[in-house]
Amino acid sequence: MSAPALLQAQGLSWQAAAVHIVQDIHLHVRAGELVGLLGPNGSGKSTLLRMIWRTLRPSAGRVLRGGRDVWQASARDNARHMAVLAQEGALEFDLCVRDVVLMGRTPHHKAFARDSAEDYAIAAQALAQVDAAHLAGRRLATLSGGERQRVLMARALAQQAPLLLLDEPTNHLDVRHQFELMNLVRRLGLTTLAALHELQLAAHYCDRLYLLQGGRLAAQGTPAEVLTPGHIASVYGVRALVTPSRHTGRPMIEYLPDDMP
């Protein structure tokens, strides 16, 4: 029997000035699953995630976390249950890395409580998990794009929430750190919904995928069901060959840009 859905979006829609940006999206993430959210630039991935992590109120539909509407729960309660790696720039630019990661512990504190020795240990462990322990004393503003991305991932991990929501987590990361981050999510067994641009990463790591086009779902299913030459051509406008990997059986994508013979 499959695990229960930890997260459900039911008929989620959002519109701006009568333009439909996201329309009637139904999705779910079961406990322990790593689910990818794919789609071209402007297809609505971030807008959908912002409704799910409750910074954008849907025009229609609802988001259930553990069966409970996220808008019925307090922001603090949601933060205990959902950790977020957002795309927009970090506001805490002037802080040192250790303090940025410790912010992930805030939802667990009683009012006005200080960070405990346990909070420091959890923050240090999270930094080590993303290969960023050596950055602990640096100011966030002085880090490279990839280093900053890993620190923000450490903050999300330090939150120790059962559900992880990631908006382009591998943005700015070199190929080794891309694999390490996805491996880490897999290894920790965290229930995760991640917007991804790298179709090959999605093919390799995700249990299931949702593919957005113009704010609507164009396809959903396993990587082999979603990452077909037909979907890649109709949604991204790029020709591709897809073959099962000899090592993993998962789809391997070879792009054939228009200017190729």
Ligand X SMILES: Nc1ncnc2c1ncn2[C@@H]1O[C@H](COP(=O)(O)OP(=O)(O)OP(=O)(O)O)[C@@H](O)[C@H]1O
- Identify which of residues 21 and 211 has a Cβ nearer to ligand X in the complex: 21
- Identify which of residues 44 and 169 has a Cβ nearer to ligand X in the complex: 44
**Location of structure tokens 């200017």:** 259
Please, are residues 8 and 27 in contact by the beta-carbon 8 Å criterion?
yes
Q: 48-60: buried (b, 16+ CB within 10 Å) or exposed (e) per residue? A: bbbbbbbebebee
- Identify which of residues 59 and 125 has a Cβ nearer to ligand X in the complex: 59
- Residue 220, CA distances (Å) to 28, 211, 227 in order: 11, 6, 9
Nearest Cα to Cα of residue 160 among 212, 205, 121, 210: 121
Widest CA span in the chain: 65
In the complex, the smallest distance separating the C-beta of residue 215 from ligand X, rounded to whole angstroms, is: 7
In the complex, the smallest distance separating the C-beta of residue 41 from ligand X, rounded to whole angstroms, is: 3
In the complex, the smallest distance separating the C-beta of residue 47 from ligand X, rounded to whole angstroms, is: 3
In the complex, the smallest distance separating the C-beta of residue 216 from ligand X, rounded to whole angstroms, is: 12
- Identify which of residues 20 and 139 has a Cβ nearer to ligand X in the complex: 20
Please, are residues 212 and 224 in contact by the beta-carbon 8 Å criterion?
no
- Identify which of residues 45 and 81 has a Cβ nearer to ligand X in the complex: 45
The phi, psi pair for 177, rounded to 5°, reads -70, -30
DSSP H/E element including 184: helix 175-188
- Identify which of residues 15 and 106 has a Cβ nearer to ligand X in the complex: 15
Q: How far apart are CA 30 and CA 194, in angstroms?
A: 14
In the complex, the smallest distance separating the C-beta of residue 139 from ligand X, rounded to whole angstroms, is: 27
In the complex, the smallest distance separating the C-beta of residue 27 from ligand X, rounded to whole angstroms, is: 14
Q: Where does residue 2 rank: exposed (0-12), middle (13-18), buried (19+ CB within 10 A)?
A: exposed
Binding site for ligand X (CB under 6 A): 16, 21, 39, 41-47
